[in-house]
Structure 1
């Protein structure tokens, strides 16, 4: 029984990091539903205004894309970057008009190799993604690279102590102290405002970083 449970939890953890296949469709729905409050809070914290260029990096089920599109308005641009080809295909089928108009631009990529130009974003969000990337300094340096001076990056993460009690996190999750993430952002030139979001069953932390001008 323990072996079966371990395989199930390992499969779930792998899907959370890279949703794919038949299971990935269910995981996408679960991500949108479970992360809804955290994503909404991240979008609000990014303080995006009409006409700006914003991004959801590691957008998963895609809930953040519609929120960002509403924020930037008809003259703004939203970039969506995702590691999973299946989630990219899902987003492409869900936003045909926005893709055709150029308001939404989707690309495959990782947090350590973003397919975006230097200083090209006014704001970016990434929620529940950094658990799956070993090199935190590289992530923060890349986030700082693509955001313009004075621009904002919001990283949303589940409370690490609470996350450590979840049955799937031993299988590939890297749970870092919040202070370590704040320090890595600071090292990349982005001072941080830390907000806490009570979000049962997992409280979240929003790290709102502003790139130095």
Structure 2
């Protein structure tokens, strides 16, 4: 049995996720895998991803991973990253596709006319380091309020249940960038690319034992 299964559905650079996990958990057995049986048997599951939502959903299903991901998201410590957050929701405006429906809500695009406080046009995708204002949760232990994390995204989640929100960031208005429910935690940013704060979040996940 592996300690941490990183779900590989062919989307995104999983090497950086794997390396970051090995750095914070050198004694854990970590497997990057597209085998549903390995995911089902793993103690913890990380669900990362990059790319367009329709492509990610299609590739996940083509590898027969949907049920394994659904089961993990409901039954064991589970960390979604970037598209791995967005895919957990019911529907995405990116390609007008349904998600996994684990969490209630939508995935929407940043407006094309965003401007900062000085009136300067903001680019979409939102890319770079941004402050994260977080709630009280075990995965934020040891992470300073308004610590910076690395983002690359054009879409963000709008949970229908406000209690799911665990963190927000501003671009330029607040948007939800982390959610949690029971054994599940998911983030829009890339902890594996977010230096010390990101590594601390991953370490917290490795040590997290939700009841």
Q: What is the TM-score of this pair, normalised by structure 2?
A: 0.36
Of Structure 1 and Structure 2, the greater strand share is in 2
Of Structure 1 and Structure 2, the greater helix share is in 1
